[in-house]
């Protein structure tokens, strides 16, 4: 991802507001969802995260091993798994890439799409792990899937939404090999957005022309896991979802579910969401995997902190910079967000 600061370039994009009802879960359901947190799964040396925290540069065998690990995780859950494999020219010659697309119940027409990139930056001078960039975001997505899977299973009384499901995209080739630019960066996202634009989708109940139309919103996670992260509210079209996240953080906090995080100002929880950042509604300022989807009219929720973590693209971005409490808080916030968006309630009998 690249901080390009193209603020002077006006960007016109017609993004329709997603019109839907969004129901907040009762306090008991929030507490129940929080119980699905298994700290061992979210620890940097734990069973879920550890295999992700390795060098995994696109086109290398280590990248393929991480890809296989992610694929296996979703095959074990019984999700539909698809690889978008392609080759592209890079400053170091032709390379092979593969995006991983996983979908729970692919027959449902509309998708909440959660995404992160699984490749790590090429760095010839030292071992670059990219824990925040984006091993931890990938692990958080895998954890959302494993913790919500029982509720999502088709026919479950917990799952009221008939037309909506969750899809996750693990992008390959996000990082530039040499220098960030239009042909050296976001290889996977560029390939997939173009491919999906020319796909054809028909659904008996819903008018949609291609797979981009199936994406109600693309939630892209990047640079997560360090304390003091502050997310700007980048887009008008998804501002209401940004405020839902603020509400979730407050409600989880009031239920004493979120953990305190040690920070410069002491042991207390500071909101991760900053609606008053100078980047408010400046979504075009930061280049990342969302851009090829944004330019094709997809609604974007970009969960990337600004300022970037101090370890960004340097040797410090490894397991040591990751704060376990932050990862657990993010996991429960995005798990709750996905549950509320999809109208999943772990305690449906409590509803009126
Ligand atoms: C949920 O908990 C909050 C804070 O503890 C409380 O103010 C609120 O009334 C509760 N909501 C319901 C529906 O009980
Ligand atoms: C991870 O490391 C912590 C301490 O650093 C240790 O207590 C824990 O047992 C380790 N877990 C695994 C799965 O190795
Ligand atoms: C929850 O806590 C926040 C502060 O963290 C407070 O502003 C808000 O009013 C509380 N909400 C409820 C329902 O208690
Ligand atoms: Zn990066």
Instruction: Answer whether CATH 3.40.630.10 is correct for domain 38-341.
Output: yes
**43 Cβ inside 6 Å of ligand 2:** yes
Look at strands 80-90 and 273-274 and give their pairing. Answer: unpaired
Helices (H) and strands (E) in the chain, counts: 8, 12
Q: What are φ and ψ of residue 47, in 5° steps?
A: -65, -30
Judge whether residue 266 has pLDDT over 70: no
Query: Residue 348 has what pLDDT?
Result: 80
Output the CA 24–ligand 1 centroid distance in Å.
12
Show contacts of 180-187: CB within 8 Å, 24+ apart. 180/2, 180/4, 180/287, 183/89, 184/90, 184/91, 185/2, 185/287, 186/287, 186/288, 186/289, 186/291, 186/292, 187/58, 187/88, 187/90, 187/95, 187/97
The arithmetic mean of pLDDT across residues 305-323, rounded, is 97
Flag whether pLDDT at 156 surpasses 90.
no
Tell me what pLDDT residue 11 has. 36
Could you identify the residue written with the tokens 């996983």?
102
pLDDT one-digit tens code per residue, 44-103:
999 999 999 999 999 999 999 999 999 999 999 999 999 999 999 999 999 999 999 999
Rg (CA), the chain: 19
The span from the CA of 125 to the CA of 20, in Å, is 50
For the Cβ of 247 lying below 6 angstroms from any atom of ligand 2, the answer is: no
b/e sequence 232-265, b meaning 16+ C-beta within 10 Å: bbbbebbbebbebbbebbebbeeeebbbebeeee
CA of 32 to the centre of ligand 2 (A): 26
Q: Confidence class of residue 1 from pLDDT cuts 50, 70 and 90?
A: low
> How many C-beta atoms lie closer than 10 Å to residue 308's C-beta?
18
What pLDDT digit, counting tens, does each position of 204-263 carry?
777 788 999 999 999 999 999 999 899 999 999 999 999 999 999 999 999 999 998 766
Please state, in angstroms and rounded to a whole number, the distance separating the CA atoms of residues 213 and 35.
34
Greater model confidence, 16 or 207: 207
Does the CB atom of residue 253 touch ligand 1 within 6 A? no
Catalytic sites, residue numbers: 174, 222
Q: What is the pLDDT of residue 6?
A: 40
What residue owns the CA closest to ligand 1's atom 9? 27
Share of the chain above pLDDT 90, in %: 80
State pTM to two decimals: 0.91
Q: Alpha helix (H) ranges present in 165-302?
A: 187-197, 239-254, 291-294
Q: Find the mean pLDDT for residues 333-343.
A: 96
For 179, counting Cβ atoms within 10 Å of its Cβ (0-12 exposed, 13-18 middle, 19+ buried), the class is exposed
Ranking 7-11, 112-116, 288-292, 324-328 by mean pLDDT, the lowest is 7-11
Which tops the pLDDT comparison, 138 or 267? 138
Q: What is the pLDDT of residue 44?
A: 98
* pLDDT score for 19: 45
The domain segmentation of the chain, as residue ranges, is 38-341
**What is the three-class DSSP state of 87?**
strand
**Res. 351: pLDDT tops 70:** no
CA angle 19, 106, 291 (to 5 degrees): 60
Q: Position of tokens 């995209």?
A: 169
> Please, which pLDDT band fits residue 154 given cuts at 50, 70 and 90?
low
Q: What is the Cα–Cα distance from 172 to 47, expressed in whole angstroms?
A: 22
Q: Return mean pLDDT, the chain.
A: 90
Got the DSSP string for 221-236? Answer: E-S-SSTT--EE---S
Protein residues near ligand 4, an ion, with CB under 5 A: 133
Of the pLDDT bands very low, low, confident and very high (cuts 50, 70, 90), residue 328 is very high
Cβ of residue 46 lying under 6 Å from some atom of ligand 2: yes
Higher pLDDT pick, 172 / 160 = 172
Per-residue tokens: 212: 């981009």
């Amino acid at each position: 991802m690249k901080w390009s600061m193209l603020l002077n370039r006006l960007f016109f994009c017609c993004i329709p507001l997603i019109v839907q009802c969004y129901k907040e879960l009762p306090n008991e359901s929030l507490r129940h969802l929080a119980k699905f947190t298994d700290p061992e799964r979210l620890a940097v040396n734990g069973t879920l995260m550890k295999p992700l925290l390795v060098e995994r540069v696109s086109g290398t065998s280590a990248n393929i091993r991480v890809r296989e690990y992610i694929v296996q995780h979703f095959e074990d859950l019984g999700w539909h798994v698809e690889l978008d494999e392609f080759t592209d020219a890079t400053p170091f010659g032709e390379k092979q890439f593969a995006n991983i697309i996983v979908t729970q119940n692919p027959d449902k027409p509309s998708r909440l799409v959660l995404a992160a990139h699984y490749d790590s930056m090429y760095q010839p001078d030292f071992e670059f792990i990219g824990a925040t960039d984006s091993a931890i975001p990938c692990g958080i997505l895998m954890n959302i899937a494993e913790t919500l899977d029982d509720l999502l299973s088709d026919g479950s009384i917990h799952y009221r939404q008939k037309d909506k499901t969750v899809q996750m995209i693990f992008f390959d080739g996000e990082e530039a090999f040499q220098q960030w630019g239009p042909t050296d960066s976001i290889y996977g996202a560029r390939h997939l957005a173009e491919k999906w634009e020319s796909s054809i989708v028909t659904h008996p109940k819903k008018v949609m022309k291609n797979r981009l139309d199936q994406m109600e919103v693309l939630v892209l996670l990047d640079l997560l896991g360090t304390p003091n992260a502050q997310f700007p509210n980048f887009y008008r079209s998804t501002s209401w979802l940004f405020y839902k996240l603020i509400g979730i953080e407050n409600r989880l906090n009031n239920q004493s579910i979120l953990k305190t995080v040690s920070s410069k100002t002491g042991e207390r929880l500071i909101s991760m969401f900053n609606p008053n950042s100078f980047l408010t509604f400046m979504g075009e300022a930061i280049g990342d995997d969302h851009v090829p989807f944004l330019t094709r009219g997809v609604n974007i929720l970009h969960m990337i902190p600004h300022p970037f973590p101090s370890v960004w693209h340097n040797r410090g971005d490894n397991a040591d910079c990751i704060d376990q409490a932050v990862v657990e808080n993010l996991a429960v916030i995005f798990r709750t967000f996905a549950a509320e968006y999809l109208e999943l309630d772990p305690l449906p009998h409590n509803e009126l």
